[in-house]
């Protein structure tokens, strides 16, 4: 386990050299030992390494005495909302955010919605994980229960956002997890939506998920060409 994967706000590295199934299992054990309670919710983004990391993360959490619930591919804020509003004792999102597709990682959240970060538990998580490195993951399937948070997330946001005007908006979903809820949410609050790259794909075929002048050029061109709001 490379200590460099422990960052200020998450655990993140290149798959499989820095982040892999064995690392995920140890992180599950470490975080599970910090959770005050009995159940934890996990989710992931669209990266191709996600299913393997979720599998071994769940095994580690289970072996630390927790019941694991899986929300599947969801945006990170949806996972956080599910943890807090549905009474989970903790949560983990398997994601590398805007990094290139060969990266992956883990964002940890407590039952009260506090993220594990520098000065807020990351040092403890790092110490516990490094003390457990070398622990081998068992070859079995975890007893994971399915738990949907996307419907709850969409309804929660619909209650917060009520546009006064019918807007015409283009959204570049970057083939990411945002497309799982974004299209439905925007259409249901009355937005005339022009979706771009809205098929979830962990290879990120259109462009990298990092919002830069280069990767947002198509979006800017469509907004100008169609005269969108």
Separation of alpha carbons 108 and 115, rounded Å? 6
Q: How far is CA 166 from CA 73, 84, 162, 172, 191, in A?
A: 29, 32, 10, 19, 6
CA triple 44-75-229, angle to 5 deg: 150
Q: Catalytic positions, please?
A: 97
């Amino acid at each position: 386990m490379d200590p460099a994967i422990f960052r200020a706000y998450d655990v993140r590295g290149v798959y499989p050299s820095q982040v892999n199934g064995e690392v995920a299992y140890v992180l599950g054990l470490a975080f599970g030992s910090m959770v005050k309670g009995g159940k934890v919710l996990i989710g992931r983004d669209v990266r191709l390494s996600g299913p393997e990391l979720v599998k071994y993360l769940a095994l580690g959490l289970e072996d630390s005495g927790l019941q694991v619930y899986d929300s599947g591919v969801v945006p990170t804020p949806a996972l956080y909302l599910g943890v807090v509003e549905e009474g989970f004792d903790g949560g983990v999102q398997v994601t590398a955010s805007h990094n290139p597709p060969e990266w992956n990682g883990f964002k940890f959240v407590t039952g009260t919605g506090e993220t594990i970060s520098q000065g807020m538990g990351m040092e403890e998580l790092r110490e516990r994980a490094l003390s457990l490195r070398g622990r081998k993951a068992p070859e079995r399937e975890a007893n994971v229960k399915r738990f949907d948070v996307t419907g709850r997330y969409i309804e929660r946001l619909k209650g917060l956002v009520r546009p006064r005007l019918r807007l015409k908006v283009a959204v570049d979903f970057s083939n990411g997890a945002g497309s799982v809820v974004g299209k439905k949410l925007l259409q249901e609050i009355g937005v005339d939506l022009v979706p771009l790259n809205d098929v979830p794909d962990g290879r990120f075929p259109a462009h990298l998920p990092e919002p830069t002048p280069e990767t947002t050029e198509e979006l800017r061109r469509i907004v100008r060409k169609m005269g969108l709001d």
